[in-house]
Amino acid sequence: MTRTPIHDAEQSGAVPVDLGPLPEWDLSDLYPAPDAPQIAADLDRLQSACAAFAADYQGRLADLSPAGMLACIERWQEIDLIAGRIMSYAGLRYYQNTTDAGRAKMMGDLQARITEMTTPLVFFSLEFNRIPDEAYQATFTAPDGPARYKPVFDRMRAMRPHQLSDELEQFLHDNSVVGAAAWNRLFDETTAALTFDVDGEELGLEATLNLLTDHDRARREAGARALAAVFGQQVKLFARIHNTLAKEKAIEDKWRKMPTPQHGRHLSNHVEPEVVQALRDAVVAAYPRLSHRYYRLKARWLGLDKLQVWDRNAPLPQESPRLIGWDEARATVLDAYAGFAPELAQLAQPFFDKGWIDAAVKPGKAPGAFAHPTVTDAHPYVLLNYLGKPRDVMTLAHELGHGVHQRLAASQGELLASTPLTLAETASVFGEMLTFRALLAKATDPAQRKALLAGKVEDMINTVVRQIAFYDFECRLHAARAQGELTPDDINAIWMDIQHESLGDAFDYMPGYETFWAYIPHFIHSPFYVYAYAFGDGLVNALYAAYEAAPEGFPARYFDMLRAGGSQHHSTLLQPFGLNAADPAFWDKGLSMIEGMIDELEAMES
């Protein structure tokens, strides 16, 4: 899952100090080499499996016995595993260097071949959703049937009202490689190739974004102005990408009779629209108590009447600039994990020892950070762009949380391991919270405690306030696009309205900041994804409060929740903790934790 690279992503440019040996991926657990014969063999196996599956089951799904349906699903799952392994390998190689033509070609060619091979399988979900409800329930509750897979197929059947004809679904499947996937790739390759002139030094996107957290205000300003200059030059291209993807989505949504642009995301997340709306409304109502209040406080700390955009993630004046070597970062996170439960640290340890992390900043490397689950008969891989800042340590804790979650959920098998986005951020944000609390417990100096608290508040604002603001930006952009083509100025205006609402009156905005929507990948890759971060943060705040109130037995319940993967609805998974995300007051509990930290910071001023 991609860690949102809003303030802590780095990509190219030289690392200024020795951070120690930084690990690189060893992808040989997937395939030994890009020309390995095993890839060709798996492609042959995939083609045969797809053809045989279609020959055996097309037109016959409704007549299968419970045992026959179980066998069918297990064959479907095996196809997922083969295709997932091939594309994971090609994708991870590509993300290591998105500007390498050979890697890009390999990924594109394999994506096209696998799309073609799997075209005969388009019938499966369409025909499956035509099985009468009574027959479906009987098959999936029979003792010798596929009962354990029912959550997957309940989610599939939720798409029934939005299903198109077999012919149209096949067309969309075949066309996907030249539709959204092609525009996604154009976005990725464009952002990876951008360079920024910062006081005569040429930097990539992520290294330039990293300057926004520099101790030197002049360097922060130089970075912000360099970003604005390049985004301004490229804004027509980014506006074209957004216009095209939003219109493509609108056309498909119209055919599928989706009531809103967000509805498909809610269905895939297995979350009710009213739950998301309750989260959004609670956060927006809290803007004055959280971001507006905190940024006024930060302006006082920095001795400024108004903050500029390059001050938003600035370190505090009393915070000594310190870069954290890789060994220290590793020890910090593993110790924090072990303090919660030794098993958590043991699950994270192989990432460091076995080449499951790619940490160094390299030219062409994908920006930000993510944990890719690959396939359940392999293991996840974590990508970082580690530059030794305290936030980079938190990003390590975050991505390892994803990795541990993916390892635990793998026991569910390929179809059930994937966690809906609403819970996908739980382990990652919990890992950050454990690391933060461990560091805070060791902080005896008031200035150090203040810096830690302020850093955590800023991370939470970036995770909750910023992500809900981004969600509102997407909602407004898609609504505006429905009325016609959007000019860059139209999109800029939506962005700035959202910034004023969410950040408050503590800011002035430099000319050029209106284009800063352009580089955010979530709008391109996963429309309306971003609320999952706020969902995860609010959920983790509530979970952590439950842990502090009753630590006995909590780790065991926590591990059970992670092992469940996507096999249960979020309401069921939260029951053992006495939590209910459908209750509007649930979100206020999580937001009150952030408010309490700001209260403590304000009290330090008196």
H-only helix segments in 341-445: 342-353, 390-409, 414-417, 421-424, 426-442
Query: In the beta sheet, which residues pair with residue 369?
Result: 3
Provide the pLDDT for residue 2.
Answer: 37
Mean pLDDT across 482-506: 97
CA distance 500 to 519: 19
Residue 277 lies in a domain: no
E-assigned strands of 511-576? none
pLDDT digits (tens, 9 = 90+) for 506-515: 999 999 999 9
Token pair for residue 275? 């739950």
Residue 155 lies in a domain: yes
pLDDT digits (tens, 9 = 90+) for 311-329: 999 988 866 667 889 999 9
CA distance 397 to 404: 10
Provide the pLDDT for residue 533.
Answer: 86
CA distance 510 to 394: 29
Residue 312 lies in a domain: no
Residue 152 lies in a domain: yes
Q: Any idea how long the chain is?
A: 606
CA distance 304 to 110: 54
Helix/strand/coil for 323: coil
Residue 389 lies in a domain: no
Token pair for residue 290? 């959280």
Write down the mean pLDDT value for the chain.
Answer: 91
CA distance 407 to 324: 27
| Lookup result for tokens 């509007």 | 584
> Which of 333 and 429 is assigned the larger pLDDT?
333
Contact (CB, 8 A) for 540 and 426:
yes
Angle at Cα 441 formed by Cα 436 and Cα 444, nearest 5°?
A: 120
Domain that holds residue 94: 27-181
Checking if the pLDDT of 585 tops 90, the result is no
DSSP notation for 581-592:
TTSHHHHHHHHH
Which of the four pLDDT bands, split at 50, 70 and 90, describes residue 14? very low
pLDDT digits (tens, 9 = 90+) for 66-85: 999 999 999 999 999 999 99
Query: In the beta sheet, which residues pair with residue 5?
Result: none
CA distance 533 to 263: 18
Checking if the pLDDT of 421 tops 90, the result is no
385 Rama sector, left if φ>0, alpha if ψ -120 to 50, beta otherwise:
beta
Worst-scoring range by mean pLDDT, 52-66, 283-297, 331-345, 587-601?
A: 587-601
> Which of 459 and 52 is assigned the larger pLDDT?
52
Checking if the pLDDT of 8 tops 60, the result is no
CA distance 77 to 477: 37
Question: What CATH number should be reported for the domain holding residue 142?
Answer: 1.20.140.70
Token pair for residue 576? 């053992």
Residue 333 lies in a domain: no
User: What's the total number of domains in the chain?
Assistant: 1
Question: For the purposes of burial, counting CB atoms within 10 Å of the CB of 20, is it exposed (0-12), middle (13-18) or buried (19 or more)?
Answer: middle
Which of the four pLDDT bands, split at 50, 70 and 90, describes residue 221? very high
Residue 569 lies in a domain: no
Provide the pLDDT for residue 17.
Answer: 60
Mean pLDDT across 341-370: 95
Taking the CA atoms of residue 591, residue 448, residue 357 and residue 192 in that order, the dihedral angle to the nearest 10 degrees is 80
Neighbours of 487 (CB within 10 A): 13
CA distance 385 to 24: 11
E-assigned strands of 41-122? none
Residue 373 lies in a domain: no
Phi/psi at 385 (nearest 5 deg)? -125, 85
Checking if the pLDDT of 559 tops 80, the result is yes
Task: Quote the distance between the C-alpha of residue 248 and its chain's center.
Answer: 22
Provide the pLDDT for residue 376.
Answer: 97
CA distance 527 to 533: 13
Predicted TM-score of the model (pTM): 0.80
Provide the pLDDT for residue 321.
Answer: 67
